[in-house]
């Protein structure tokens, strides 16, 4: 869990160009991290590549916080 | 002009698609020749490109089948590393008067000519977003603007392509992916040979330039839209129709 979070955090920091301490499990990509819809799509694509999994469109739509992403990855690996 | 760029052209085994594949290859692009059924003709296009010193492969895929489309994009990037230019050209016709058109004929044409563009665009834009650049060129038709009796299915699909082009252009502009459409008029191909003489005569009388277009006329506009010459053009539909519809 912690490991996944660290990896996701690094990707989010790189991709969205935000401060590390803003990237908490509760942080919403759109509301707290200033991502637009396209940024989130790209982020999900990068997570798929990084964790070598395929996230279906209907699941991807449900990912709105950093914690959602971490949980999804942990339960699908 | 397109050195080291990778271009995927759907329905490239003949007609306008074939000409676009040859033209982009002539200008330096590595080309993926997609085809649905005509393997021999697709191979002939690959052979012609290679004999001119270019690089090309052929990939069989039905553009209306999402898994086949995804596999095609994967094979493209595996072979050539990138995907810079997508030309959505694959299309069919099943003409009939509205009153005689079957539901299946309507669905088949929409599936290939409109849904196919959506599926290929979706799969390709994933790669283009990663690259932060790309060109998508959709083949519409002038009848998608003017309407045409006997082609309710085809016209609906081609008008849909124009709307899809505009929406995709708006969604992907932020990632430097330019999306435009070409609306050819009456171009001499296998598809137009099916029309009878009376239909052709009637069409010619509507064309100010008073002649059929050539596949090269369309391919040259595709080259323009694929190249740096069109860096500030997106969301547009360029008619290549001899002035038929204004």
pLDDT-derived band at B32, boundaries 50, 70, 90 = very high
pLDDT-derived band at B221, boundaries 50, 70, 90 = very high
pLDDT-derived band at B191, boundaries 50, 70, 90 = low
> Which of the residues A36, A49, A57, A68 is marked catalytic?
A36
Closest CA to B151 of B201, B91, B94, B92: B94
pLDDT of residue B6: 98
The CATH code belonging to domain B6-240 is 3.40.50.720
B89 is in an annotated binding site: yes
With a cut of 80, say whether residue A57 has pLDDT above it: yes
In the block, tokens 């137009």 appear at B192
Terminal-residue alpha carbon distance, chain B? 31
pLDDT of residue B201: 86
B27 is in an annotated binding site: no
What share of residues in chain B are helix, strand, coil (percent, to 5)?
50, 15, 30
Proportion of chain B above pLDDT 90, given as a percent: 92
What value does the mean pLDDT take over residues B176-186? Answer: 97
With a cut of 90, say whether residue B22 has pLDDT above it: yes
Closest CA to B140 of B221, B233, B216, B48: B221
pLDDT-derived band at B189, boundaries 50, 70, 90 = confident
DSSP code at position B128: H
pLDDT of residue B194: 76
Instruction: Give chain A positions within 8 Å (CB) of B171.
Output: 38
pLDDT of residue B80: 97
pLDDT-derived band at B200, boundaries 50, 70, 90 = confident
In chain B, the residue whose alpha carbon lies closest to the alpha carbon of A37 is B171
Closest CA to B144 of B197, B189, B91: B91
Per the CB < 8 A criterion, the answer to whether B10 and B63 are in contact is yes
Chain A from 16 to 55: CB within 8 A of any B CB:
36, 38, 41-42, 45
- A45 and B175 within 8 Å at the Cβ level: the answer is no
- A42 and B174 within 8 Å at the Cβ level: the answer is no
- Give the tens place of pLDDT for each residue, A59-73: 999 999 999 999 999
pLDDT of residue B196: 83
- Give the tens place of pLDDT for each residue, B89-131: 999 999 999 999 999 999 999 999 999 999 999 999 999 999 9
pLDDT of residue B93: 95
User: A28: domain CATH number?
Assistant: 1.10.1200.10
Pure H helices in B52-185: 66-80, 103-110, 116-131, 143-146, 152-172
Q: What is the C-alpha to C-alpha distance for residues B74 and B226, in angstroms, rounded to an integer? A: 21
* DSSP letter for each residue of chain A: -HHHHHHHHHHHHHHHT--GGG--TT-BTTTTS---HHHHHHHHHHHHHHHT----HHHHTT--BHHHHHHHHHH--
Hey, where are the domains in chain B? 6-240
Phi–psi pair at B213, nearest 5 degrees: -80, 160
pLDDT of residue A1: 57
- Give the tens place of pLDDT for each residue, B123-173: 999 999 999 999 999 999 999 999 999 999 999 999 999 999 999 999 999
Count other Cβ atoms within 10 Å, centred on residue A51: 18
With a cut of 80, say whether residue B192 has pLDDT above it: no
Is A11 at the interface with chain B, CB within 8 A? no
B158 is in an annotated binding site: yes
With a cut of 80, say whether residue B193 has pLDDT above it: no
With a cut of 60, say whether residue A45 has pLDDT above it: yes
What value does the mean pLDDT take over residues B202-222? Answer: 94
Q: Which helix (H) or strand (E) holds B55?
A: none
Q: What is the C-alpha to C-alpha distance for residues B2 and B179, in angstroms, rounded to an integer? A: 17
Range of the domain at A52: 1-76
């Amino acid at each position: 869990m912690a490991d996944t979070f660290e990896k996701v955090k690094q990707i989010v920091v790189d991709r969205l160009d935000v401060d590390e301490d803003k990237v908490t499990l509760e942080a919403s990509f759109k509301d707290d991290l200033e991502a637009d819809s396209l940024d989130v799509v790209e982020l999900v694509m990068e997570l798929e590549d990084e964790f070598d999994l395929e996230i279906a469109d209907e699941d991807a739509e449900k990912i709105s916080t950093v914690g959602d992403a971490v949980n999804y990855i942990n339960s699908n690996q | 002009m397109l050195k080291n760029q990778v271009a995927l052209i759907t329905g490239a085994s003949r007609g306008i698609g074939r000409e676009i594949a040859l033209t982009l290859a002539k200008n330096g692009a590595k080309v993926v020749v997609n085809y649905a059924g005509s393997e021999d003709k697709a191979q002939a296009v690959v052979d012609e490109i290679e004999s001119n010193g270019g690089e090309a492969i052929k990939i069989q895929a039905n553009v209306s089948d999402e898994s086949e489309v995804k596999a095609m994009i994967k094979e493209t990037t595996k072979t050539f590393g990138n995907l810079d230019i997508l030309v959505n050209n694959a299309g069919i016709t099943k003409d009939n008067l509205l009153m005689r058109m079957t539901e299946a004929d309507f669905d088949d044409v929409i599936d290939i000519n409109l849904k196919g563009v959506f599926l290929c665009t979706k799969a390709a834009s994933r790669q283009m977003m990663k690259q932060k650049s790309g060109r998508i060129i959709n083949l519409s038709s002038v009848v998608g603007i003017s309407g045409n009796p006997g082609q309710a299915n085809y016209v609906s699909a081609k008008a849909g392509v124009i709307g899809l082009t505009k929406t995709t252009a708006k969604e992907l502009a932020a990632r430097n992916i330019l999306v435009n459409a070409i609306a050819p008029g009456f171009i001499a191909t296998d598809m137009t040979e099916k029309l009878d003489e009376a239909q052709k005569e009637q069409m010619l009388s509507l064309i100010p330039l008073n002649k059929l277009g050539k596949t090269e006329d369309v391919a040259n506009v595709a080259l323009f839209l694929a190249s740096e010459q069109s860096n500030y053009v997106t969301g547009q539909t360029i008619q290549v129709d001899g002035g038929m519809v204004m």
